[in-house]
């Protein structure tokens, strides 16, 4: 029994280390966190599609409204049915599937966010970039899947899965419609989960 108690912390560390969470910088904090959405066991993300509202000029801007990720088995093909999406804002259009080339996987991300504008028009998150790479090896953003967006805000830092991990899940913070003359922002923050590659 004593031996089991001594081994438990090691076993717990191993279990936790199979999944690692990456968080975007919290530049804004409007809305509710949606449910985690994850790939099936043994699948990893290799493609992305963004829902984006283009500039409204005299209207209320929301910019980035949703992020859809697509999962596959290592070496498998793109399948629209393998989509995971954690919530969706009400505005904008889907931009189209953007797929990592050469069987690469998504190994990191960055979020472009616009800070609180005070009495101005807030948008929250403006753009999302996914970084493609091999399951094992260098972590960089040489191959980037980037949304077609306005240049509002700043990129808040690059986040990478460790070597031997790839993206396998997503959770987003989305503000629901504020109604009438309210200032809508839609998507504000992102959590990404990385899973160990066997």
Q: What residues does each domain of the chain span?
A: 21-196
Q: Which residue, 125, 91, 89, is CA-closest to 109? A: 125
**Would you state the pLDDT for residue 178?**
67
pLDDT in tens, the chain (198 residues): 544 444 444 333 344 579 999 999 998 888 899 999 999 999 999 999 999 987 765 666 678 999 999 999 998 999 999 999 999 988 888 999 999 999 999 999 999 988 666 665 566 788 999 999 998 999 999 999 998 877 778 898 999 999 999 999 999 998 886 666 666 678 989 999 999 998
- Terminal alpha carbon distance of the chain: 31
**Would you state the pLDDT for residue 28?**
86
| Residues 197 and 75 sit within 8 Å (Cβ to Cβ) | no
**Would you state the pLDDT for residue 96?**
94
Alpha carbon distance 33, 175 (integer Å):
9
* Alpha-carbon distance values, 45 to 92, 116, 152 (Å): 23, 31, 27
Greatest C-alpha distance within the chain = 69
Q: What's the CATH number of domain 21-196, 1.10.10.10, 3.40.710.10, 3.40.50.300, 2.100.10.20? A: 2.100.10.20
Q: Which residue, 24, 130, 117, is CA-closest to 62? A: 117
**Would you state the pLDDT for residue 159?**
97
80: how many CB neighbours lie within 10 A of its CB?
A: 10
DSSP H/E element including 5: helix 2-16
């Amino acid at each position: 029994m004593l031996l089991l108690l001594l081994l438990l912390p090691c076993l717990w560390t191993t279990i936790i280390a199979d999944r690692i969470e990456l968080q975007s910088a919290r530049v804004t904090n409007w809305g509710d966190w949606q449910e985690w959405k994850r790939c099936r066991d043994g699948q990893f993300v290799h493609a992305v599609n963004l829902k984006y509202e283009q500039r409204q000029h005299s209207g209320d801007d929301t910019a980035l409204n949703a992020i859809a990720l697509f999962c596959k088995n290592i070496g498998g093909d793109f399948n629209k049915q393998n989509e995971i999406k954690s919530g969706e804002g009400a505005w904008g259009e889907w931009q189209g599937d953007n797929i990592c080339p050469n069987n690469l996987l998504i190994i990191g991300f960055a979020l472009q966010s616009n800070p609180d504008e005070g009495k101005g028009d807030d948008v929250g998150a403006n753009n999302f970039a996914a970084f493609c790479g091999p399951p094992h090896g260098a972590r960089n953003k040489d191959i980037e899947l980037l949304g077609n967006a306005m240049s509002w805000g700043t990129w808040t830092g690059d986040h990478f899965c460790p070597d031997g991990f790839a993206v396998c899940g997503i959770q987003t913070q989305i503000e629901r419609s504020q109604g009438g003359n309210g200032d809508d922002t839609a998507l504000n923050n992102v959590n990404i989960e990385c899973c160990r590659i066997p």
